[in-house]
């Protein structure tokens, strides 16, 4: 048996504590699986007194994670501090510069500085592993990085944020409003006090940027991700989706298109029969389409201390075994600069919900403006409010009526132009709701 | 860039031909992903003249795969011959004995001789990779072997045979009989002329035995798998399942129980809301439950030349990178001898369908015999044939009536004893249909 692998853990919150417990409880099995013992030799956290359920008396405690990164008694640094800058970035940088391998769960850091850090790792021959940064316990980073080299990948479709999926699931199943479900998610600990990062789609965007790089062999390009959150989704949208055979999910989508690589995060109508539509609550899922394999779907826990720690342990085990894979699947010199497909060129079906004023001309305006942009309609649904239940958002005025259009494939630009004209015609109230449809 | 990896391919059927095409078409990407070129230097197949869509003029042709295994111009042997004995076994053995790494898609070989071959690989430091042997293009071998060392695994639940899942899907969706759907599957090329190996559950059993070893760190023990096929499933069973909120799938299940490791293959009622219930047609799926990660589900193509070749390429890429993982996840000396849990100790819910003679005493016999074995019933459904449609199998006699019981968790032994007594009481016709229920 080879020498032990000395692990330093920076950040002892929920994931860090779970990690320490697993490394102790499963020490024998880990040694059997990797051929060498894994031992925690150093930790760093702000609060020394908190009980983490493990004996840390034999472990060096560093108040400064940078000192942990430079501790000669540490072979590999696990960074669980979080944040794209500051202590997390400094710690990871110092570790890699010192030739130590790094395991991190930090999607913000990787989305912002992934390629730069990968370059540092390459220079010293260290590993930079980040299975836990995307989709919690699902081994999708490993799958993309190692298991699909026989495929030209076409697309990635991910439910990558448990908070959003929980809220959408609750809204759908119990016909509740967004604000109510968000509050409930906060009470249950599924959403932060400031939930913007999750519900605004930004967390999903960071994760998507990482998956996109792995899938397409391109540099991480988080700035290129088009982002919409879920705050505008109403119970009426969910009801209409249901009637039309869809569910609404916040998806991160990356696709290779003739215009370049499309990266987008937005509420999406997915067919009820699709694998992603079955994913409820805080669960995450990633569907991958490739030239040889067709479609693969991975479903599992997107968060939680133990599930995330499971991925951190997987990364540590690979380092213990000496597995050498480039952080983003290929040498940074071979990561292409992605051609960005602008959102305006996106092609797909659209769900458009408008509140039309109940007077002559509204339907003609909508139909004409769509026709002018050569948008063909699969369905038009107009119902008088009296005929419906729920949907408190459109019952404000008796003189307005919801109109829902489902378009055949068209471009984002055409839809935007048509809606601008419909708004200018003055027959609708407020801003139209636009939800993209994925049928793949 | 390191020296090229020289690949020899034994067996050029659908998978072998797809593999050759991928290795040519994606040569640049494979070199980028692994750091070295992969080149096919030798092949072996019976038919030299068949057009495989690739230029083989620069490749050494061996009529005997053993000669390929011994060719000094081959670093790694891909075995796509098939079968547990004969040429496949000899080729793999010779390659490993000669210190060459092996990639194989051969589940029968691994189920029969996996540990012995792993030992040979260990002796020479060669790799023995077999992603394609289980669940086609789904990277579940890699996930179990490398990605979950932080987990004590509890169970594996797999839809591992596309033929069976296709037949069950067709029976359910179109209310067709088993024989008709089998014939259709044969016409479409989803089932062999002699379909016993698939529909009898034996193919699933081989795959399950491999997954069990990977999941529990035990020696492959294919003889311990309890096997039932799908030939006895009737449209009435599917209809009853539907009414009760289930679908019927042929599952391979491995579980750690207090009595040992349970390995079983049989038609299974799964909740319609479960991930496995959504898996239709020839698609495969594997659900894994673990102590840290909770539940993971992988869904994808279980067969097909390209999807299977995708897994073979993944294995080759790992060898090109120098990744060293024990074939069954740990050194063979550390693979435990599994304690076998006999099927009689299996605990779970049961669906029991009987054809009761329509006369006094039948219901009393059934209810009494169940009570004697302390089997508590969740539902009893008895309907006069006139009230139903379909189900031609139970309309034979006007004087008989189908009775369906759903039990709460009980033991296989108790159910078997109760049914033996019910049969002895003489109130039912034929053999009761027994389908196990999984609600996890």
pLDDT per residue as tens digits for the range B255-289: 999 999 999 999 999 999 899 999 999 999 999 99
Using the beta-carbon criterion (under 8 Å), do B298 and A293 form an inter-chain contact? no
A358 falls in which pLDDT band (50, 70, 90)? confident
Residues of A in contact with B151 (CB under 8 A): 26, 310
For residue A139, give the nearest of A287, A300, A288 by alpha carbon. A300
A313 touches B at CB < 8 Å:
yes
- Strands B5-10 vs B38-44: parallel, antiparallel or unpaired: parallel
Q: From its phi and psi, is residue B86 left (phi > 0), alpha (psi between -120 and 50) or beta?
A: left
A25: distance to nearest CA of chain B, Å? 9
pLDDT in tens, B114-151: 999 999 999 999 999 999 999 999 999 999 999 999 99
pLDDT surpassing 60 at residue A1: no
Q: How large is the average pLDDT for residues A376-398?
A: 64
In this prediction, residue B1 carries a pLDDT of 53
Among B107, B142, B207, B249, the one annotated catalytic: B207
Least confident of A51-55, A365-369, B393-397: B393-397
Structure tokens at B44: 């072996």
- Prediction pTM value: 0.95
Closest CA to A252 of A300, A285, A214: A285
Cα–Cα distance measured from residue A182 to residue A188, given in angstroms and rounded to the nearest whole number: 10
Yes or no, beta carbons of B321 and A323 under 8 Å apart: yes
Q: Please give the average per-residue pLDDT across B421-427, as a whole number.
A: 94
What is the least distance, in Å, from the CA of B355 to any CA of chain A? 35
Q: Given pLDDT bands bounded at 50, 70 and 90, which one contains residue A387?
A: very low
The Cα–Cα gap between B267 and B248 comes to 6
Please tell me if residue A300 touches chain B, with a CB cutoff of 8 Å: yes
**Each residue of A234-251: b (16+ CB within 10 Å) or e?**
bbbbbbbbeebebbbbbb
pLDDT for res B440 = 74
Q: Give residue-wise pLDDT tens across range A212-266.
A: 999 999 999 999 999 999 999 999 999 999 999 999 999 999 999 999 999 999 9
Interface check A257 vs B, CB under 8 A: no
Q: What is the pLDDT of residue A139?
A: 98
β pairing state of A377-382 and B377-382: unpaired
> Could you give all domains of chain B from N- to C-terminal order, each with its CATH number?
5-133 (3.40.50.720), 143-302 (3.30.360.10), 346-438 (3.30.70.260)
Q: Running DSSP on this structure, what letter comes out for residue B145?
A: I
Q: How far apart are CA B39 and CA B28, in angstroms?
A: 11
Give the max Cα distance, chain B. Answer: 83
Residue A304: list chain B partners with CB under 8 A: 294
Please compute the mean of the pLDDT values over residues A312-338 and round it to a whole number. Answer: 96
Pick the residue with more confidence: B27 or A363? B27
Share of chain B above pLDDT 70, in %: 96
How many helices (H) and strands (E) chain A has is answered by 14, 17
Confidence of residue A398 (pLDDT cuts 50, 70, 90): low
The DSSP element (H or E) to which B153 belongs, if any, is strand B153-159
Set of chain B residues whose Cβ sits within 8 Å of the Cβ of A217? 29, 32
User: Which B-chain residues 34-73 have CB contacts (< 8 A) with chain A?
Assistant: 34-35
Mean pLDDT of B179-183: 96
Query: Can you spell out the DSSP letters for A51-103?
Result: --SS--TTSEEESSHHHHHH-TT-SEEEE---SSSHHHHHHHHHHHHTT-EEE
Predicted local confidence at residue A360, as pLDDT: 85
**Is B207 a catalytic site residue?**
yes
CB contact under 8 A, A137 and B293: yes
Whether residues B318 and A292 touch (CB distance < 8 A) is answered with: no
Q: Does B266 touch chain A (CB under 8 A)?
A: no
User: Chain B contact for A152, CB < 8 A?
Assistant: yes
Question: Could A30 and B149 be called an inter-chain contact, meaning their C-beta atoms sit closer than 8 Å?
Answer: yes
Shortest distance, CA B20 to any CA of chain A (angstroms): 11
Alpha-carbon span B199 to B66, nearest angstrom:
32
As given in the structure block, the two tokens for residue A144 are 């993309």
Task: Give the residue on A whose Cα is nearest the Cα of B325.
Answer: A321
CA distance A107 to A93: 15
Closest listed residue to residue B301, CA positions, set B310, B312, B288: B310
Residue B342 pLDDT: 93
For chain A, say whether B138 makes contact (Cβ under 8 Å): yes
Which residue would you say has higher pLDDT here, B359 or A180? Answer: A180
Nearest CA in chain A to B139: A147
Residue-level pLDDT at A237: 97
* pLDDT at residue A395, rounded to an integer: 45
pLDDT at residue B387 is higher than 50: no
Nearest CB neighbour to A217, from listed B32, B278, B318: B32
Residue from A153, A292, A326 whose CB has the most chain B CBs within 10 Å, to mutate? A292
Distance (Å, rounded) from C-alpha B226 to C-alpha B243?
Answer: 28
Determine how β-strand A283-290 pairs with β-strand A260-271: unpaired
Are B292 and A310 within 8 A, CB to CB? yes
Task: Note the Cα A136 to chain centre separation in Å.
Answer: 10
Which of the 8 DSSP states describes residue B336? B
The distance of B159 to chain A (nearest Cα, Å) reads 14
For β-strands B128-129 and B260-271, DSSP reports them as unpaired
- Point out the residue among B275, B294, B323 whose CB comes nearest to the CB of A323: B323
Q: Closest-CA residue in chain B for A141? A: B147
Q: How confident is the model at residue B379 (pLDDT cuts 50, 70, 90)?
A: very high
Q: Is the ipTM of this complex over 0.85?
A: yes
Contact B307 A318 (CB under 8 A): no
CB contact at 8 A, A440 and A277: no
pLDDT tens readout for residues A5-29: 999 999 999 999 999 999 999 999 9
- CB of A423 within 8 Å of a chain B CB? The answer is no
Q: How far is A367 from chain B (nearest CA, A)?
A: 38
B319 part of contact set with chain A, CB < 8 Å: no
Inform me whether the C-beta atom of residue B99 falls under 8 Å from chain A C-beta atoms.
Answer: no
Mean pLDDT of chain B: 94
Give the one of B22, B30, B148 whose C-beta lies nearest to A310's C-beta.
B148
| Position with higher pLDDT, B398 vs B47 | B47
Confidence class for position B371, pLDDT limits 50, 70, 90: very high
CB-count exposure of residue A193 (10 Å: 0-12, 13-18, 19+): exposed
Q: Under an 8 A CB cutoff, do B146 and A294 touch?
A: no
C-beta of residue A12 within 8 angstroms of C-beta of residue A43? yes
Cβ-based neighbour number of residue A194 at 10 Å: 8
- Token readout for B135 is 């669940």
Answer for the pair A327, A128: CB distance below 8 angstroms, yes or no: yes
Nearest to B256 by CA among B134, B172, B340, B170: B340
Q: Which residues of A are catalytic?
A: 207
Indicate the DSSP class of residue B12. Answer: -
B386-390: average pLDDT: 50
Answer whether A130's CB lies under 8 Å from A141's CB: yes
């Amino acid at each position: 048996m080879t020498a032990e692998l000395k692990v330093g853990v920076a950040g002892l919150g929920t994931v860090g504590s779970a990690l320490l417990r697993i490394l102790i409880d499963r020490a024998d099995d880990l040694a059997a699986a990797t051929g060498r013992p894994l031992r925690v030799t150093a930790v760093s956290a702000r609060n020394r007194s908190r009980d983490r359920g493990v004996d840390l008396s034999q472990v060096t405690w560093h108040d400064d994670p940078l000192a942990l990164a430079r501790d000669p008694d540490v072979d590999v640094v696990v960074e669980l501090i979080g944040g794209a800058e500051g202590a997390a970035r400094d710690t990871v940088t110092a570790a890699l510069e010192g030739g130590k391998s790094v395991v991190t769960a930090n999607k913000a850091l990787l989305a912002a500085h992934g390629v730069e850090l990968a370059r540092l790792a390459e220079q010293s021959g260290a590993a930079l592993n980040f299975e836990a940064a995307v989709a919690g316990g699902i081994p999708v980073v490993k799958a993309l990085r190692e298991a699909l080299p026989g495929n030209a990948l076409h697309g990635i479709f991910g439910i990558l944020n448990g908070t959003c999926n929980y809220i959408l699931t609750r809204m759908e199943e119990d016909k509740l409003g967004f604000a109510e479900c968000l509050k409930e998610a906060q009470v249950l600990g599924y959403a932060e006090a400031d939930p913007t990062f999750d519900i605004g789609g930004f967390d999903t965007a960071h994760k998507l940027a990482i998956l996109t790089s792995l899938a397409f062999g391109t540099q991480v390009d988080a700035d290129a991700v088009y982002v919409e959150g879920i705050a505008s989704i109403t119970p009426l949208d969910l009801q209409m989706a249901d009637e039309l055979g869809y569910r609404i999910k916040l998806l991160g989508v990356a696709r290779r298109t003739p215009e370049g690589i499309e990266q987008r995060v937005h509420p999406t109508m997915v067919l009820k029969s699709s694998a992603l539509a079955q994913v409820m609550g805080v669960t995450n899922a990633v569907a991958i389409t490739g030239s040889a394999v067709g479609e693969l779907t991975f479903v599992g826990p997107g968060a939680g201390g133990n599930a995330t720690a499971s991925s951190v342990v997987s990364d540590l085990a690979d380092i213990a075994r000496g597995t050498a894979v480039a952080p983003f699947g290929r040498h940074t010199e071979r990561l292409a600069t992605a051609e960005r497909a602008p959102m305006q060129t996106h092609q797909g079906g659209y769900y458009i919900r408008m509140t039309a004023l109940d007077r002559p001309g509204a339907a003609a305006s909508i139909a004409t403006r769509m026709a002018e942009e050569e948008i063909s309609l699969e369905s038009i649904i107009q119902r008088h409010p009296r005929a419906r239940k729920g949907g408190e958002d459109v019952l404000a005025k008796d003189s307005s009526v919801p109109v829902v259009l489902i378009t055949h494939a068209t471009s984002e630009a055409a839809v935007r132009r048509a809606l601008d004209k419909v708004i200018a015609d003055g027959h609708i109230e407020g801003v139209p709701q636009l939800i993209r449809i994925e049928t793949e």
